[in-house]
Amino acid sequence: MERLIYLDNAATTPLHPLALEAMMPYLTGSFGNPSATYRLAKQANDAVVRSRKTVASILGARPTEIVFTGAGTESINTAIKGVAFQQEKARAGNHIVTSQIEHHAILHACQYLERFGFDVTYLPVDRYGLVDPDDVARAMTDQTMLVSIMTANNEVGTIEPIFEIAAAVRERASSLKKRIPFHTDAVQAPNSLQMNFAEHDIDMLSLAAHKFRGPKGVGVLYICRGVPFLAQQNGGGQERQRRAGTENVAGIVGAAESLRITQESLDADRTRIAGLARRLRDGILHAIPNSTLNGHSEQRLANNVSISFDGADARDLLADLDDAGIACSAGAACGATTIEPSHVLLAMGVPLERAISTLRLSIGHETTAAGVDAVLTALPTIVERSRAKRAPDSSATAAG
């Protein structure tokens, strides 16, 4: 494909060639079903075991605490429902604490549970998108049986004080004299943070391989030993009875390999990516008047640049950028065909008008300085054109 400048790495990333290379044997010769007993099956099983160890060691967890799933969304649904339904059975409460800026996978899973009589508190955030650990602790009651706060926001890039939140949850739970698991949606984190989260009071964590140069169709769920959990996919005894179904061996191998590569070169890559993000952000804010950075200026994902352009419409911007060979997003890709104002920006107190003028540009491992500069060259005119078109006194009719 004739492509150009891809700045939507928060939506998905290209598969790392070494991850694909690691996967290929399991898409060809070593095709056995890991649950069978003969040698061919053992090769496949060994690959799953190795991959599980790799992921576990990166997360600071035990291999038995790692469950491979079919996607990040499945990991999140499984975590939320798996704990909620088990806690309900154990009469350990029916209340969940989460935040207003979570990914829809969390929000919709919580709404699903509300239909079954569960109670959910959606905590507000400050204007940077930060969740206050004290708010989390205060929201917890003797009915609370799960807390889930994302590690870093997918739209505005704000990194939450996740270890402080985990510690606050732990402390409040102990004063309530119960175990209240803390889950974090860390889907956006592996390109920016060291992922040894299991060493920090975090009980459950969800990842999606395709966000860190792994394949689509495979996710990771870390479940700390002892967390109350009811399997959400039933059938065979795979994944230690926590997720039935023949293992996606190639996908699992690809996920582990891409996580290993991403985490091993994290320091160098992060510095480079953050440098490019800084160049893009400063360049835009300098060149385009009435543009505003969303999220926290420092405590943010290395690769995320979220900027609003007052008076412009993100639909115009995306279309013109696409014509110019630049791919980015207005917010979460899941809602990109219909632009609704982002629930994240609204929760941060961004006015509706500004929210719909927002672009998310997310840098990747393959982004170059030349690519960033091409955006800096193209964007001012594109923003100006949209502003002219959308201006109240403009003769052009605003597109529906």
Partner 1 sequence: MADRRMYLDHAATTPTDPRVVAAMLPYLTTAWGNPSSIYAEAREARKGLDAARRTVAEALGAKPNEIVFTSGGTEADNLALRGVAMAARQRRDRVAAGDRESAAGDGHHIITTAVEHHAVLHECEALAKEGFRITYLPVDNEGFVDLDALRAALDDRTILVSIMYANNEVGVIEPIAEITRIVKAHNPHIAIHTDAVQAAGALDLSVDALGIDMLSIAAHKISGPKGVGALYVRGRTPFTAQIVGGSQERNRRAGTENVAGAVGLATALRLATDEREARNAHVGALRDRLLDELPRRIPDTIITGPIDRARRLPNSASFAFQHVEGEAVLLQLDLDGIAASSGSACTTASLEPSHVLTAMHVPESYLRGSLRLTLGASNTMSDVEALLEKLPPAVARIRALQPMAGRSA
For the annotated catalytic residues, the residue numbers are 334
- Closest approach, Cβ 40 to partner 1, in A, equals 5
For residue 91, state whether it binds partner 1 (rule: CB under 8 A). Answer: no
Q: Kindly state whether residue 108 participates in binding partner 1, applying the rule CB under 8 A.
A: yes
252-265 burial code (b ≥16 CB/10 A, e <16): bbbbbbbbbbbbee
* Intra-chain end-to-end CA distance of the chain, in Å: 31
Q: Evaluate whether 190 touches 259 at the Cβ level (below 8 Å).
A: yes
Site for partner 1 in 51-70 (CB under 8 A): 69-70
> Which of 135, 203, 247, 269 is close enough to bind partner 1 by CB under 8 A?
247
Contacts of partner 1 in 192-211 (CB under 8 A): 208, 210
Q: Is 250 in the site for partner 1 (CB under 8 A)?
A: yes
Binds partner 1 (CB under 8 A): choice among 58, 96, 105, 150: 105
Q: Is 103 in the site for partner 1 (CB under 8 A)?
A: yes
Q: Which is nearer to partner 1, 147 or 208 (CB)?
A: 208
* Residues contacting residue 123 through CB under 8 Å, at least 6 positions apart: 97, 98, 99, 100, 131, 132, 135, 136, 139, 149
Q: Select the residue interacting with partner 1 from 3, 91, 177, 225 (CB under 8 A).
A: 3
One residue of 251, 341, 364, 371 binding partner 1 per CB under 8 A: 251
* Side chain identity at residue 264, one-letter code: E
237 near partner 1, judged by CB under 8 A: yes
Residues 48/247, Cβ–Cβ less than 8 Å: yes
Determine if 337 is a binding residue for partner 1 (CB under 8 A): yes
Pairing of strands 95-99, 291-293: unpaired
- 85 three-state secondary structure: helix
Beta carbon of residue 221, minimum distance to partner 1 (angstroms, whole number): 13
Q: Across the beta sheet with 358-362, what order do the strands follow?
A: 291-293, 304-309, 358-362
Which residues in 159-188 contact partner 1 (CB under 8 A)?
A: none
Helices (H) and strands (E) in the chain, counts: 13, 12
Provide the minimum distance between the beta carbon of 327 and partner 1 in the complex, in angstroms, as a whole number: 4
* Rounded least distance, CB 204 to partner 1, Å: 16
